[in-house]
Structures are given as structure tokens and as C-alpha cells.
Structure 1
Amino acid sequence: MGAHSKGGPVLPRPAAPPSGATGAGGRDRYFDTLRALALVRVVTYHTFGWAWAGLVFPSMGIMFGLAGTLMARSLERPALAVVRGRVRRLLPPFWFWGVFVVAAMLVHGWMPDWRIVYWVVPLGDPPGSAWGEQAWEILWYLRTYLWFVLLSPLLLRVFRLAPVPVLLSCLVPVVVLQYGWQPPDDRFGTGLLDLTTYLFCWVLGFAHRDGVLARLRPAAVVPPALAALAYGAWYALAHQGEYGTYDLDDIPLAQAFWSAGYVTLLMYSKARLGIGLAGLARHRRLDRLVTVFNARAVTVYLWHELALVLAVPLIDQLWKVPAFEAYLPLDSQWFLFGVGWVLIAAFIVACGWVEDVAARRRPRLLP
């Protein structure tokens, strides 16, 4: 999933990546691997619900940061065409998935109102029934991504006026929403809070693409990043009583600062040290898996919750087979995790071709 930007005084073009840092078609295997790991972490979190998972690997901040980088690169072309292309690649997979989810909710008694228009273009959270909540609650990411795409031409123009000050100021809005003005408890407020939470990561992607990070000395990057990590972790742990958890997904301010510090260190390592994963090509199956995850990122994200939901009744059927009941760990969350991935793989094969159609490529079962 990605984002875009454009305009303003053009900074010097970043140096070419170190030899072996990119794969076929100019793909960066370091970023591709991070995106694949982020998707695996999302599925893992939605299976086990581990509150500490976001501290170990803040997948959403990483995905927004990578998307910002891709958007800045894309906006070397005319902005309108780039935005139109990004929206085109997002909406058909969303519509295809939405047909099944909306139809299932309607069959189970859901009565939609005018807000069903958000199932056409998710500029706000698409409505849904409590019965289908596990499927549609993940759509906040698509809504936030879409808004970042639409805002990126302006954001990139502003960023290029004063890169470092603008980047640092991107943490101010989430602080204001925490300590100053409280956003309304509605779609607008929720959307605004998500945008401010991940704004720094998105614009950090611009900084990486434009070579800003590569030009900064470690003393100007590492201590502030560690400070952001420390503040994010402290805030989450110190406010457990208020939020009932230290899960970053439930604490926007902690999520914003922890993700900012974490993604900064990841991107700075790439920009300054030229870290690449060209050696991944020597492990052909693993390299292939990373390729599939990146080419089917939207499919994995949209369908993984349905896979986990469907895994439960499927496992219930396995209990009826005495041999399976005796020899398989049917009551284990890890078994649910495994069955979920089998179903995700099936969805990739059955539904992933929609991403090819949206990107105007020849449809394939596997990329």
C-alpha cells in the first residue's frame, strides 16, 4: 500500500542505491522485505492479539513510511496522473472484497443508510454491522492511505520548502489532539486522528526518497529517534490505567512517537549505510515469497481477517474426525494461525488477480 507527493523546489536527486540493493524492475528488496514482514505481523496480531507486537514491529507505521517513499518517487510524474493511478490500483480490489462482505452483512440483517457510499470510495469509514465488524474494522488503513494519496502533492510541495523543519513539525498535530483540541467522536475525528498519528512516517518516506536522510549525520538522527522511541514507550506504559492496555494501536500518541523513532532508524540505516538484501535472491523460495507478498499486499490485507474468521468453523469440522481430534492441536491458536495462512494463500490465488487488473497488468494466479 502506498502514498504520493509532488511540487516545490526540487532537491538534488538521491544517489543511486548501492549495487545489489534492488531487484528486478528496480524493486528495493530491503523495503519489500519490510513490507512482507509488516503484513505477517498484522496477521499475527489479529490472530493472537499480543499487546506487545506493536512495540516489537510497528507494522502500520512501517507500511505508511514505505508508501510515502513510493509516492514521492511516483510524483516525479504529473501529480494528477499519479493520484489517479494510485486510486485506480486501490479501489477495484476493495470493491471486489466489499461485494462479499456487504452481501454477507445484508443477508444477516444489516440495514445500511446513506453512508454506504463509503463502500464506493472510502473517504470515511465504511459502515457495517456488528456481525461483520471483524472483517470491516481494518478499513481504517485504506481510508487513511487514500487521504494521504490525495494530500501528497501538497504535502510534498510543503516538505521540499524546508525538509527537516517540516518533517519534525509532523509530530505536532498528534500532540495538539492529545493535549489541546479534542477531535469529535465521529468519522471526521477518527480519520483526523489516524492521519496525524502516521503523518510523520508518511513524510519520512519523502525524506528518504529525496535523499534528506542520507545527508544527515548520525548525531542529528539517532538521538532524536531514540528519544521518540523512549517517549512513545513511556507514554504507553505510563497510561495503561487510562487506556486499559499498553497496546500502541489503542494509544495514538504513543503509536505516533514509537513509529516515528522506529521507522526513522529503519530508513536511516538504509539511506546512510546502504543496507540492502540482495542476498535474498540466493534463497529462491524466500525471495519468491517476498515477491508474492508485495504484489498481493492489498489482497493479503483485505482478506486476512476473513481467512481467520473462516478458519474457526473449518476447524470445528475437523473436531468431528476422530483421527484429527486425536493427533492435531485443534484447540491451539497456532493451529488457527496455520489454517488462516492456508486460507490466505487460497484467497491470493482466487482473488489476487484483481490487483493485476487494477494495475492494468495481465491477470495471473501468482505474480
Structure 2
Amino acid sequence: MTWDQQNPYQQGYEGYGYGPYAGQQQYVQQPYPQQQQYVDYGHPPADEQTAPLLPAEPDTSPVPTTPGTGQAGAEESAPDSRPGRPARDRYFDTLRAVALVRVVTYHTFGWAWCGMVFPSMGVMFGLAGTLMAKSLERPALKVVRSRLRRLLPPFWLWGFFVVLAMLVHDWMPGWQIVYWIVPLGDPPGNVWGTQAWEILWYLRTYLWFVLLSPALLWVFRKAPVPVLLLSLVPVLVLNFVWSGPDNRFGSALWDLSTYLFCWILGFAHRDGVLQRMRPALVVVGSLAAVGCGGWYAFSHQADFGTYDLDENPLAQAFWSAGFVTLLMWAKAYFKIDFGWLTRFRKLDRTVTIFNARAVTIYLWHEIALVLAVPLIDRMWNVPAFEKWLPLDSQWFMFGVGWILIAVFVVACGWVEDVAAKKKPKLVP
């Protein structure tokens, strides 16, 4: 009995998001108005706001004492009782690990409600904004170079195999292949490799935020609250006034606008702006933003074909804004640090591994899910497996996918150590 016969969710692998035409209904580039005709570079017209997910550098730089920042970073790092290890904020680390799990879950099952339960990308951009503001206590050029150094080597290793595979499958790139060196624009690719390279929107957006952060942080500190609120204006303009150009620049503009508030919210958390605001004002404003995002998502299902936030940039922007604001404010107001996590060694170690290998997990998880399909297909030929294993279950695919992700972490994750100028290890 074949895999197709046993699994009603898989029809030629592309029916449920795994195959040469996979991902069009599940995630990747959002169907922004200007992107529906964006076909020159092989980028699909959808956008899953997932995964984030760059590693958090253990930054032990001193807490800023300049006017306006006060004790902003006092709770930024929860002390680690184990000697010889830099202090880390386990609350942020846990959020990042949860975001990665949510990414893989969404890409396996395609549940539209996942983004409402936990808007992974909004959370990740908020965390990254906080860490970027903290790092910019050092010279900006040095910080930008450090971020590029930590990101690009893992991307190059992953990209080498993806590009090679696409070349074998009759792909011939033009000058746009330079985006496979520094992904400041969407790297080109063929349809065969879509499910692998379509997740690169996140790396492109992150890089642009890193490059813009010195200027954004300077502007933010001139008028913190007004700048934070005005950061929602670009997505409103793109949605109602001007949809932007139908090219790489337009694609980047939409993603930057969607998550600009979350990134600047990270600045606000770092500089203590959220701590100084009235709790009632923060809670009411956050819930209003979440309500606005939810209302727009459900009221425009006919336009986007779903209430999935990842298909609706305006809904995503407001829902993420409110959700992440509550997470950041709660951390500052209640002084949450998740220091208790260190008492559970296995759980604490799992969170550590997820954070130390965040780029590897994000880049390789789609390939792992794709490879899980033919691997399970072979299992049908083993009578014992066919009898005793739930081979037709998406949960079984989910488990196999994580096993393959673990293999990639061991085989390729050491590049993240090299990029961070650390001694390479198979497992952190």
C-alpha cells in the first residue's frame, strides 16, 4: 500500500504542503497586494511569519545609565548559577525555543490558529530588537559586523546544498545569485526548491533591521512613545494607500513594515519605556491592538481565503504588536526571568540547545519535513512498521521531522559555533 493511499492528507506530497509546489497555502510570503504578480525571481505569493530565529548572543556588556534608560537592562539577564557560564535571560531563551517549536508545528500541520496562539515572528523580532539595542551600547559598525558574521556562515553552508540541488534540477541563475551571498533581497530559485528557500524572507528582514537599527534607535530615543506608535503607520499606508512596487524592494518593504513595531518595541523594553508607562494604559492598548488584528483577520477571510495571520499583514502587525507588548511589559513589570528553569536540568539544556542552534533549526527544518515524507513512504514496505506504526498520522511525520532536525543540528550546527568564534561542538 502506498503512502498516498494511506495518508489522505498527502496527495502527491503537495496536497498538504510537502512537495515541489508546497507552501503556497500554508505559509511563506504573505499575499501582499503588490506581490500577486511578483514572479520574476521565483518568489511565491505567500509569507509564513515563522521562524525566527537568530541566536541570542550572551551579552555581558554593562547596563546603560544614560538619561532615559535608567535601569532598563537590570532584568535583562537572569543569573546562571553554574560557574563559568555567562548570565542569560531564560525568559527570552524560553520564548525563542517556543517560537521554534511553533514554527515546525505550523509547517507540519498548517493550523491557521497557530499564529494567534503564539505569533512567533512578532515575538522573535521583539526579542531581537531588545538585544540589538543592548548591543548598540558598543560601536554600531562593530555590532553590525558581529551580527553578519554570526548569521552568514550557517546560511552559506545551508545555501550551498540548496543551490547545488536546484542546479542539478535544471536551474540556471542570473546575476541575482548574489543574494545567495548576502540575502538583502529574496534569493532566486526554481519551483523545485521553493519549500527550502521560501523561508529566507526572515533572514532578509532581520538583516535590514540590523542595518537600520543604529538610525532607528537614534530616532526612537528622541521621542520614544510617539515613534513607537508611529511605527504602525507604514503597514497602514501599504495596506490602504500605496501597496509598494512589485519587486524585491516591495517584498522587503511589506515585511519591514509588518514587524517594525515589534522591533522598536524591543528598544522600548531595553530603555525602560514600558516600565514607566501606566499598567492600565499598556494592558488596554495591547488588548485593543490584539482585538483590532483579530477583527481584521476574521472580517477579511474572503479577501485572503483564511483568517491565518500569516496571510494578512495588517492583522499580523496589530495582533503581534499587542501580543508582544504584553509579553515585554509583563517581564518588566513582574520582573519575570524564569530563573527557576535551571532547576530542571533536562528542560534547561533543551532550551539552551534550541537557542545555540536557532539558525540551524530554522534553516534546516523545512528540508527535514520534506525528507520525512519519502522516509515514511519507505516504511510502508516493512510489514512490522505498517502494522504497528501510525504511518498515516501527521503527528508521526512531526516526530520524524524532529529526529531529522536533530541530525542536522549535530551535522551542521557546529558552524554556528565557528561563526561566533567559539570552539565547535556537535551538541552545545
The 8 Å contact of residues 3 and 71 in structure 1, kept in 2 or not, is answered as no
| Partner residue of 1:319 out of 344, 363, 380 | 380
| Partner residue of 1:207 out of 256, 268, 291 | 268
Which residue number in structure 2 is paired with residue 61 of structure 1?
Answer: 122
Letter in 2 for 1:165: P
Letter in 2 for 1:133: T
- State the alpha-carbon separation in 1 of the partners of residues 56 and 315 from structure 2: 23
Letter in 2 for 1:189: G
Compute the displacement of 1:11 (Å): 2.2
Compute the displacement of 1:94 (Å): 0.3
Identity %: 72
**Residue 82 (structure 1) aligned with residue 143 (structure 2):** yes
- CA deviation vs aligned residue, 1:260-314 (integer Å, no higher than 9, x gap): 0000000000011111211111111010000000011000000000000111111
Equivalent position SS for 1:143: helix
Compute the displacement of 1:127 (Å): 0.7
| Partner residue of 1:181 out of 242, 251, 261 | 242
Q: CA 1:50–1:304 in 2, change beyond 3 Å: closer, same or farther?
A: same
Q: Which moved more, 1:156-165 or 1:211-220?
A: 211-220
Equivalent position SS for 2:191: coil
**Residue 306 (structure 1) aligned with residue 367 (structure 2):** yes
The 8 Å contact of residues 2 and 63 in structure 1, kept in 2 or not, is answered as no
Let me know the Cα RMSD of the aligned residues: 1.7
Which residue number in structure 1 is paired with residue 69 of structure 2?
Answer: 12
The 8 Å contact of residues 3 and 145 in structure 1, kept in 2 or not, is answered as no
**Residue 47 (structure 1) aligned with residue 104 (structure 2):** no
The 8 Å contact of residues 69 and 270 in structure 2, kept in 1 or not, is answered as no
- CA deviation vs aligned residue, 1:147-178 (integer Å, no higher than 9, x gap): 00000000000000011111111001000101
Compute the displacement of 1:77 (Å): 0.3
The 8 Å contact of residues 2 and 70 in structure 1, kept in 2 or not, is answered as no
The 8 Å contact of residues 108 and 394 in structure 2, kept in 1 or not, is answered as yes
Equivalent position SS for 1:246: coil
**Residue 21 (structure 1) aligned with residue 83 (structure 2):** no
Letter in 2 for 1:330: L
| Partner residue of 2:291 out of 230, 244, 261 | 230
Compute the displacement of 1:3 (Å): 9.6
Q: Which ranges in structure 1 are unaligned for 5 or more consecutive residues?
A: none
- CA deviation vs aligned residue, 1:102-137 (integer Å, no higher than 9, x gap): 000110111111111100000000011111100000
Q: Which moved more, 1:232-241 or 1:104-113?
A: 104-113
Which residue number in structure 2 is paired with residue 106 of structure 1?
Answer: 167
Count of aligned residue pairs for this structure pair: 364
**TM-score, with structure 1 as normaliser:** 0.96
- CA deviation vs aligned residue, 1:54-91 (integer Å, no higher than 9, x gap): 00000000000000011001000000000000011110
Compute the displacement of 1:140 (Å): 0.1
- State the alpha-carbon separation in 2 of the partners of residues 286 and 306 from structure 1: 26
Matches within 5 A, 1:265-344: 265-344=326-405
Letter in 1 for 2:184: L
- State the alpha-carbon separation in 1 of the partners of residues 230 and 349 from structure 2: 39
Q: CA 1:255–1:46 in 2, change beyond 3 Å: closer, same or farther?
A: same
Letter in 1 for 2:318: F
Letter in 2 for 1:134: Q
Moved over 6 A (4+): none
The 8 Å contact of residues 55 and 359 in structure 2, kept in 1 or not, is answered as no
**TM-score, with structure 2 as normaliser:** 0.83
Q: CA 1:21–1:268 in 2, change beyond 3 Å: closer, same or farther?
A: same
Q: CA 1:159–1:220 in 2, change beyond 3 Å: closer, same or farther?
A: same
Equivalent position SS for 2:161: helix
**Residue 122 (structure 1) aligned with residue 217 (structure 2):** no
- State the alpha-carbon separation in 1 of the partners of residues 55 and 238 from structure 2: 25
